[in-house]
Structure 1
Amino acid sequence: MALRGTNQETGRPYNRRIVLESIRLHGPMTRGDVAQRVGLTVQTVSTIVRELEEQGLILSVQKPPKGRGIPPSTLTINPDGGLSVGIHVTPLGIEAALVNLRGDVVDNVRRDVMNATPQEAFSFIRDMVTQLMASPRCGRLLGAGLALPGPFDVESMSFVGSTTMTGWKNIDIRQHLADATGLPAFIENDMAAAALGEQLYGLGQQVSNYYYLFFSVGLGGAMMHDGTVMGGAWGNAGEIGHIPAVPDGEPCPCGNRGCLERYLSLDAFERRGLPADEWVSEVAPFFRNAIRTIENLFDPETIVLGGLAPQPLLHQLATLVEGLDNSISARAHRALPRVVMASDCQHSALRGAAALALFGVLSPRHGQMFETLEKGNAE
């Protein structure tokens, strides 16, 4: 994946992220290597590296000389330089994890609570984060990121029906998260968070344009383009679950009939009550049409299949790649199949939520990060 920076002053937050990611993915590397890889000047990279070093996010290692002259120091990520709290709230439960700068889940807790109200959820989150903070593996905390079902800010569709969280309308989720954790707080829909998690810690290290098909209680997805989630005008791009699949079909909580997720989702699987192999055979036409639609709309290098569904069920769906209908992605010479399994189906959204916090606090808009880290270092 090509990580490219920008020399515009307004691009400083992005540049910090790109430099940090480049070092994480390709380190140890010199400042000159970083500058060449991300397309920034050595001076700009050196300024960013100095800031990241001061905050303990990266390490500079001086190799012993092998001959005349002193070799340039190399940079590597400091996995213990900080932790983010990733939280994933779904109709099936709540999970929270400590994630280090390398993307490792170092500790996690889960509460199996069905359709938690905001009051219940944030009470659980407060207790779970307190438990994680007491973990011997907990270190310096940078922030908290929360992933939960979307779409957001759509009056007729947000937090409506069995596939989403009820009772969450008109709730200041970010403020509740900040209050519950005492940390800088960031939120995203779980589809986009999962796509980000895959980009940072999975297949996204090899490809730059893919669609993450998030198979959960509902069905959704997000398109990753050149390392960035395509959000759309209101941050809800990729809602494949609400495209019409069956004319005058099953009523959907969104108010329409025949939406795809009424037939192709974990909720649909459980309502149908069939053995997995029979159900997969039954929904094969819906799955293949969905793949073709995504391909013709977004032209991805591949479609990554992940989500909260049991791994065996996702694997069975992935086998339907054989016999896919024709689309603009039906090419003879492909580096990857048209559909691949996510690298970490169960934790993609969780790790993506943690990454939201990391990248969020790197932004000058959240300058408290640098003040907080300096205070913590002084203490």
Structure 2
Amino acid sequence: MNPTWNQQLIKKENKTIVLQLIMQNAPISRADIALKSGLNKGTVSTLVAELIEEQLIIETGPGVSSGGRRPVMLVFNENAGSTIGIDLGVNYILGILTDLQGNIIEKKRHSFNPTSFEHTMKQIHEDVQELISKAPKTPYGIVGIGVGAPGIVDNNSSVVLAPNLGWKNSFLKEGIEEAFQIPVIIENEANAGAYGEKMFGLGKSIDNLVYISTGIGIGTGIIMNEKLYRGSSGFSGEFGHMTINMNGETCRCGNKGCWELYASEQYVIQKALKLQLVSDENANIDQIIELAEHENDTAIELLKETAIHLGMGIVNIVHALNPQKIIVGNRLAGAKPWMEQIVQKYVKNRAMTSHQNEVKVQFSDPSFPATALGVAAFSVEHFLKRSLEKIYPTS
């Protein structure tokens, strides 16, 4: 007799529980899985045997005995496949190749100034192809490609609007999938950055955090109760377009006085050009940071001024969301020595006492690829979900 739909669903859910316990607690024995999951030992043994056959987990050496035979320990097989994460910036592209646990195998970063959507697609294809060529041989190969895009991305991985790239309703996902025949996930780059920090960075032990991506624009990713908050349509976190100057300049989004006009890489660069700190129209934040490192007073004052503007927006976020931690990442994080303490002091002085005692503001390591790691992690999760659904269809 064929198993019922309910039996298939229960088995899939139990198998998911077993796999998650192994991933989170490895090395772990079958007996401990049964204890933590509440499943009986026979069920655990059956599911573990299937996961071993599928090469998703492997047995390692014996563990410590609590009396009797030493148990065989189980770990997730991080080398069962590889994934690719792409951080698509407005003026750069960063790509990483990772194993299934987020360990970076290969990393590629370069400046990039797109002239069109087609130009960007061509460059992404070249970068992905190069990363694929560096991938080790694994049972499942490249299991997914994730792209963090600087714009509004809906729940179907469609880029609805990317004002700093000049894109609207762009078919990024479809173009990459057609080229490589590999599942693709597109996520807002700040959402991906928040998830990358939560999984691998400064947010590991934090239940409620906000990640602020400070590039040419500003995006924010929100983790609530350990989960990424996307909003009803996937459009949450656009704090970069909240108004902090009602009579300010017009933003590319159409609004006036947006926060990102005063606290982002573009603000620093435009102000540096006016101050004649740099003369090249292709100037970037690294040049201003280098001047600050050489104790250029004007560059230092510019970064301090930007820190105040950044603090203004962060106070609003503190009041709105009451997070445990706010992480500032992306390009401006490289100016941490001149900005972090000023932002922290501004929040301490301006946020309501009831809120500011609860939150910690911290700048991330500028070399930490939070967004790329975040979308790579999403790809792995979708791969594991597909693997279980393929074995146990629920419809």
In structure 2, what is the Cα distance between the partners aligned to 1:295 and 1:60?
46
Which one-letter code corresponds to 1:356 in the other structure? F
Aligned pair 1:159/2:172, yes or no? no
Which one-letter code corresponds to 2:222 in the other structure? M
Deviation at 1:287, TM superposition (A): 2.1
Which residue of structure 2 lines up, in the alignment, with residue 359 of structure 1?
A: 381
Which residue of structure 2 lines up, in the alignment, with residue 374 of structure 1?
A: none
- How many equivalent pairs are there? 353
Deviation at 1:200, TM superposition (A): 1.2
Which one-letter code corresponds to 1:326 in the other structure? A
1:330-345 superposed matches below 5 A: 330-331=356-357, 338-342=360-364
Secondary structure at 1:204 match in 2:
coil
1:196-345 superposed matches below 5 A: 196-273=195-272, 275-309=298-332, 311=334, 313-320=335-342, 321-324=344-347, 325-327=350-352, 328-331=354-357, 338-342=360-364
Secondary structure at 1:254 match in 2:
coil
Q: Deviations over 1:161-215 (max 9, x none)?
A: xxx212x323222111212332111110100111111111113321121111111
User: Residues 216 and 346 from structure 1, CA distance in 2 versus in 1: closer, same or farther, beyond 3 angstroms?
Assistant: farther
In structure 2, what is the Cα distance between the partners aligned to 1:222 and 1:13?
29
Deviation at 1:90, TM superposition (A): 1.7
1:181-196 superposed matches below 5 A: 181-196=180-195
In structure 1, what is the Cα distance between the partners aligned to 2:14 and 2:191?
18
Secondary structure at 2:94 match in 1:
strand
Deviation at 1:291, TM superposition (A): 1.8
- Under a length normalisation based on structure 1, what TM-score does the superposition of the two structures give? 0.81
Higher helix share: 2
In structure 1, what is the Cα distance between the partners aligned to 2:220 and 2:40?
37
1:359-378 superposed matches below 5 A: 359-364=381-386
Secondary structure at 2:88 match in 1:
strand
- Under a length normalisation based on structure 2, what TM-score does the superposition of the two structures give? 0.78
Secondary structure at 1:264 match in 2:
coil
Q: Deviations over 1:316-369 (max 9, x none)?
A: 3221202422333322xx6xx62012356541001111112111122249956x
1:112-123 superposed matches below 5 A: 112-123=111-122
Aligned pair 1:80/2:102, yes or no? no
User: Residues 278 and 54 from structure 1, CA distance in 2 versus in 1: closer, same or farther, beyond 3 angstroms?
Assistant: farther
Secondary structure at 1:169 match in 2:
strand
Q: Percent identity?
A: 26
What is the CA RMSD across the aligned residues, in angstroms? 3.4
Which one-letter code corresponds to 1:147 in the other structure? G
Aligned pair 1:348/2:360, yes or no? no
Q: Deviations over 1:5-54 (max 9, x none)?
A: xxx959968984x76565444321234545666x6646776676555433
Unpaired segments ≥5 residues, structure 1? 1-7, 372-379
Which residue of structure 2 lines up, in the alignment, with residue 144 of structure 1?
A: 145
- Contact 2:333-2:364 within 8 A present in 1 as well: no
Which has the higher Rg, Structure 1 or Structure 2? Answer: 2
Q: Deviations over 1:294-319 (max 9, x none)?
A: 111111111111113351x1443221
